[in-house]
Structure 1
Amino acid sequence: MVATPISASSRYIPPGTRQYYFVASIANKNAPTRGELDAGTDLTGEVADVSGFQTTSESADTPDLGSRFTSKIPGRITADDSSITMYASEDSQDVRQLLPRDTPGFVVQFPEGDETGKTMDVFPVKVASAPKMTDIEDPAKIEVQFTITGEPAEDVAVPS
């Protein structure tokens, strides 16, 4: 008997596909409405870099006297420190107006784009800080740092 192979993937790179929205209010993070998403701000065109916005699970040891082997079970789920680095504008009219420190809301990540039937991840967040990056050779940027304030809703269907 031969195992059934996994379906072949349609591979892609994130630029030109992945999108990020900031949405101030979502009633149910497990089922955002199209109206809620459309009321948000599409950050995609100003994003220079993204870090985090993923969950990881710790492991918990489960030793017993029946064996010298220590088995493990999945433990607590955490979200990595997360940030979105965006371009700064010389007139200061940029992400600083939208996301000052302590702004609550949701970062919605569309890995394969904002298209009905695809999936998105919804992260409840609060802006921790938005420092201006100090590199003098690269374009001016602002790194918006977020705390993840609740369990993210992952692989949620994008509504029509």
Structure 2
Amino acid sequence: MFAVVRTGGKQYRVAAGDKIAVEKLAGEAGDTVTLGDVLLAGEGDKIADASKVAVSAEIIAQAKSEKVVVFKKRRRHNYRRKAGHRQQLTLLRITAVGDSKAEKKAAPKKEEAKAAPAKKEAAPKKAAPAKTAAPAAKADTAEKKPAAKKAAPKKEGATHKAPAKKAPAKKAEKK
């Protein structure tokens, strides 16, 4: 099965086992990434519904492309500028191109089994600190508000005080 996916503003035709270099994606070598923007999918000459297809890939490495040299010159003006650029790339190995329903059904069961006990344990712990954290948060905001009020008038006062000092000095000289 093949799919056409869009990532980094470019489109790639991929199948399981393919290796591609795409614009930099977040993650480290060995991480699994799901390419969600599937534009077209099919097998052989048949076209499948792209919304039901998911493409998963493994990050092989984070790398840089070849250097592109940028050279600017204006003749007879002694103007020359040379710069280089190396684009950040992510090398991917496509692991699976297939139905997203099958992958999504399998993945949430494992996550729910692991997450359910964690949520039960975490809920009571979060409730107790939330009660104690609320007064502390109010105290922090009460402390921060006067500091902010003091800082704002100083800035405004400094700009207004300078002209005020100059004006009386000029009036005193004229009299």
Confirm or deny a common fold (TM above 0.5): no
TM-score normalised over the length of structure 1: 0.35
TM-score normalised over the length of structure 2: 0.33
Report which structure shows greater RCO (CA 8 Å, sep ≥6). Answer: 1
